[in-house]
Structure 1
Amino acid sequence: MSTNTKKGLINIGSFVLGFGFLGALDGIVFHQLLQWHSVIMETDRPGQIASDGLFHFAVTLTLVLGGILLWLAGNPTSLSKGIRLLVGGFLIGGGAFNLIEGIVNHHLLQIHRVKPGDPNALTYDLAFLGLGILLLVIGYFIKRGGKSQPTTLGA
């Protein structure tokens, strides 16, 4: 397998794994432990359990897919670079989950809020998005490995 193919699989696999992990963490913490919300709030409890079950099934499949992609990538040619790609991509994927889920479900579709019914519900929603941005930024810098990137002025 070529180095570029291996790097591509590590990039995609770590992103997918991070995306699925943050999805699972969201479901475990916000849906089950804190019971702040369900995927679809405007249903009876059995409907909420079914929507959460479908969500958990989807993130489980995402975790499995990420693991398979990383397994297919095999051992990285450089361990330190492989770890940077794995951790960076994982954090970028997790941040992407928070941003996509937060923007789509909390704001565009208004399916649920992070903590519905709370007088500070918007603060919770914005903190959720802020965490997504923070994960993306940290993941980017880890993946980049502290190297300064050349900048160009103009288009």
Structure 2
Amino acid sequence: MAPETRDRAFPLSAGILFGLGLGGFFDGIVLHQVLQWHHMLSSWYPINSVPNLELNTLWDGLFHATTYVFVVIGLFILWRSAHRRHLSWSNKLLAGTLLTGWGLFNLVEGLIDHQILGLHHVNERVSREQWILWDLGFLAWGLVMLVGGLLLVRAGRAEEASGQADRALIR
């Protein structure tokens, strides 16, 4: 890719970081706080005492702080790229990288926190036998977002390449 083309290319890492952050915010806000299905360490420290609630709340906050950092870094990368000159990016690249990041979040968080470490499960309010079903659904949702995101990124790159070829013909 020529230097000028590379400077104008959509920053995939920014979209992926935004997706990671948004996936974490959704998990923390909707599943931890609104639905209260689980907390960060609720399988290890069930919410059956004030000290356990305090510990889980602290770790939920650290989790939110990490997802916030992903969004801030993504915003910084996007700003540095967009601030350079007028750009023509495909909307598919933004949507695709957001889905890719969110899907990656679900897969990594689901595999590590739910399955490997057993820190918590997606829905701990249902019977224990059903936890795995919710966990598998979370992983499947992540996989669908990841694949859909990657397909959109591919389409967006093709769209950008086609647009750049069109602009070169106009010059």
Using the size of structure 1 for normalisation, the TM-score is 0.85
Matches of 1:144 and 1:57, distance apart in 2: 31
Q: How does 1:35-46 map to 2 (within 5 A)?
A: 35-41=36-42, 42-43=44-45, 44-46=52-54
Query: Per-residue CA shift, 1:65-119, capped at 9, x if unaligned?
Result: 111111111067333x2x2211111100000000000000000111111012523
Matches of 2:115 and 2:86, distance apart in 1: 40
1:137 and 2:147 are equivalent in the alignment: yes
The residue identity in structure 1 corresponding to 2:137 is A
Matches of 2:8 and 2:21, distance apart in 1: 21
Report the secondary structure of 2:36's partner residue: coil
Shift of 1:6: 4.4
Matches of 1:24 and 1:34, distance apart in 2: 14
Report the secondary structure of 1:145's partner residue: helix
Q: How many residues were matched structurally?
A: 144
Equivalence for 1:49? 57
Equivalence for 2:6? 4
CA RMSD of aligned residues (A): 1.9
The residue identity in structure 2 corresponding to 1:51 is W
- CA 1:15/1:6 → structure 2, altered by over 3 Å: closer, same or farther? farther
The answer as to whether partners of 1:3 and 1:77 remain within 8 angstroms in 2 is no
Matches of 2:19 and 2:8, distance apart in 1: 18
- CA 1:76/1:40 → structure 2, altered by over 3 Å: closer, same or farther? farther
1:63 to 71, 77, 80: 71
Shift of 1:143: 1.2
* Unmatched runs of 5 consecutive residues or more in structure 1: 148-155
Matches of 1:112 and 1:46, distance apart in 2: 16
Shift of 1:3: 2.8
Aligned residues with identical type, % of pairs:
34
1:15 and 2:16 are equivalent in the alignment: yes
Report the secondary structure of 2:40's partner residue: coil
Matches of 1:5 and 1:96, distance apart in 2: 26
Shift of 1:26: 0.3
Matches of 2:77 and 2:33, distance apart in 1: 29
Matches of 1:12 and 1:21, distance apart in 2: 14
Matches of 1:88 and 1:31, distance apart in 2: 26
The residue identity in structure 2 corresponding to 1:122 is I
Query: Per-residue CA shift, 1:34-72, capped at 9, x if unaligned?
Result: 111111113311101100010011111111111111111
Matches of 1:45 and 1:24, distance apart in 2: 20
The answer as to whether partners of 1:95 and 1:132 remain within 8 angstroms in 2 is yes
Using the size of structure 2 for normalisation, the TM-score is 0.78
